[in-house]
Structure 1
Amino acid sequence: MTEQATETVTVTVLGPANASTARVLEPGDLDAALRVLARDPVTNAFVASRVRAAGLDPWRLGGEMWGWFERGELVSMCYSGANLMLIGAGEEAVRSFAERARRQGRRCSSIVGPAGPTAMLWALLEPHWGPAREIRSCQPVMATSEPSERVAPDPFVRRVRREEIDVVLPACVRMFTEEVGVSPLAGDGGLLYRARVAELITTGRAFARIEDGDQVLFKAEIGAVTDRVCQIQGVWVPPEHRGKGLARAGMAAVLEYALREVAPVASLYVNDFNLPARAAYRAVGFEEVGTFMSVLF
């Protein structure tokens, strides 16, 4: 691994009674960062899971964490890695993070986060970063702390076994390509994506209904995990099997696993135009608790 030069920039905004400062967070800021993340455990699940696992060291975290301080207290952050993600950012913080991102140039494949601040961030960056490949301005964030009362869990949905990676990987690739619009096999031939799928299987967080040994009828994973919330992702049913109730029953099964064995709250986010998926999630008990926005490059 080659070393990468990191520009150290501190931005200070002076006011009549205080100073607001933005800088790259360091390992010593970990406790303060965790306090900020804990203010909204559902919205911040992805970043919180990364920080809890890797701390704030950029190499282990997979990117820098930028902090915004008011009166010496860390009040908001921005994760700058494969994704650019705001955490609890107000207008001043968004402007500061946008300026830092503009100076360093685009390194991320997407901007994801709470819709209002993310829209403001993109408005500031778009003149410098150029047009996005796609903008999804309304992605409902949904959560529940109760197993499904109305939909029975599919008894055939189970954890994927390690030796089944070559069975489920094509389904994962189809889901990713359908959802994101590009194949995860591009670039490195899928090595990193395969490693991520293998990690989810090894840790017992990949679920599927598999028939005839090689036919995946439903799949989903539990991605981000903290002690307070987990995030369900990658929900997929083959197009030829949609409309049969497989997604609802499958989600009820995954939700049962998630709440019993992983965290007290399960969450996810979904595109607003995906009406069948939203209906399936509501049917098993998920309720809308916020809105994300994604900018894809």
Structure 2
Amino acid sequence: MLAGRIETHGTATATLGAPLWGLSTGRRLDAVCLAGANLIPFARPGTERAAAAAFAERARRAGRRCSTIVGPAASVLPLWELLEPSWGPAREVRARQPLMAIEGPPAVPPEPAVRPVRSAEIDLLFPAAIAMFTEEVGVSPLRVDGGAGYRARVTDLVRAGQSLALIRDGEVLFKADVGAVSRSACQVQGVWVAPQYRGQGIGQRGTAAVVEYARTAIAPVVSLYVNDYNVAARAAYQRVGFTQVGTFASVLF
């Protein structure tokens, strides 16, 4: 989440689009936190509590501007513990979200019809993106600025070749985005299957196709994170070849 943005934009607020806070011990950087639309903390093992205290103080002074706190659970949960008295209550806390990754080819055959979405298909894709966001986050992306910011994000992903879909007869059956990218790894986000096509294996085959595309065109390691209570999705990702490598957490407002 952080590495790709820093690789592309550097660390200056003007180019990164949000302040990047840091915590150092001597010349060693122990933790960072991107304070943008999402608050994204990351701390070295053993420094999470100290980082949470430092970042909570900065966040309280700035006031809540984010819609989500998201990142490694070991960094997010101590930070939220300190912020909850002034920022709470959260709309939802998802404390255990398995972070999964795959480094080799997918273990199931990819859906051959999954491909990058074309710019001319953004109007077709956008309702599916709205449905995915609403199901996953619990609120509509249209509630803020009529959805203009969210549509801009969808458009950016399409133009970058990072939004893939299975489109048949003008209908989106499956979609997924490669929403975070660095030189060494990328993260799949926004996986969605149209309700009437669920239970047919489209999600597995579609995700396998996204993995194959991402490993070839973007980065050698493909990751994603999933809610721990979504047993069906976790099982599907395991069948594709993903294994758990960590745990994320999200605090939603």
Range into which the TM-score falls when normalised by the shorter chain: over 0.9
Q: Give the aligned partner of residue 56 of structure 1.
A: 11
Of 53, 69, 74, the residue aligned with 1:95 is 53
Of 165, 168, 190, the residue aligned with 1:208 is 165
Distance in 2 separating the partners of 1:196 and 1:248: 25
Distance in 1 separating the partners of 2:77 and 2:40: 12
Structure 2 SS opposite 1:268: strand
| Greater relative CO (CA pairs within 8 A, separation 6+) | 2
Structure 2 SS opposite 1:190: helix
- Alpha-carbon distance, 1:185 to partner: 1.4
- Alpha-carbon distance, 1:60 to partner: 2.3
Q: Give the aligned partner of residue 168 of structure 1.
A: 125
- Alpha-carbon distance, 1:117 to partner: 2.5
TM-score, length basis structure 2? 0.96
Q: Contact 1:158–1:207 (CA<8 Å) still a contact in 2?
A: yes
Q: Give the aligned partner of residue 62 of structure 2.
A: 104
Q: Give the aligned partner of residue 134 of structure 1.
A: 92
TM-score, length basis structure 1? 0.82
1:168-188 C-alpha deviation (Å, 9 max, x unpaired): 110000000110111111221
Residues 1:154 and 2:111 aligned together: yes
Distance in 2 separating the partners of 1:216 and 1:171: 7
Q: Give the aligned partner of residue 78 of structure 2.
A: 120
Distance in 1 separating the partners of 2:178 and 2:20: 24
Between 91-100 and 175-184, the greater mean CA deviation after superposition: 91-100
1:146-168 C-alpha deviation (Å, 9 max, x unpaired): 1113x111111111111011111
1:87-144 C-alpha deviation (Å, 9 max, x unpaired): 1251212111111111221111111111122111111110111200111011000001
1:1-297 → structure 2 map (5 Å cutoff): 46-89=1-44, 90=47, 91-149=49-107, 151-212=108-169, 214-297=170-253
- Alpha-carbon distance, 1:59 to partner: 2.7
Distance in 1 separating the partners of 2:50 and 2:110: 46
Distance in 2 separating the partners of 1:211 and 1:133: 36
Q: What 5-or-longer segments of structure 2 have no aligned partner?
A: none
Q: Contact 2:53–2:82 (CA<8 Å) still a contact in 1?
A: yes
Q: What 5-or-longer segments of structure 1 have no aligned partner?
A: 1-45
The count of corresponding residues between Structure 1 and Structure 2 is 250
Q: Give the aligned partner of residue 17 of structure 1.
A: none
- What is the identity percentage for the equivalent residue pairs of Structure 1 and Structure 2? 55
Q: Contact 2:106–2:208 (CA<8 Å) still a contact in 1?
A: yes
Structure 1 SS opposite 2:155: helix
Q: Contact 1:62–1:82 (CA<8 Å) still a contact in 2?
A: no
Query: Per residue, is there more helix in 1 or in 2?
Result: 2
Distance in 1 separating the partners of 2:176 and 2:69: 23
Q: Contact 2:5–2:182 (CA<8 Å) still a contact in 1?
A: no
Distance in 2 separating the partners of 1:87 and 1:122: 13
Distance in 1 separating the partners of 2:207 and 2:185: 16
Structure 2 SS opposite 1:60: helix
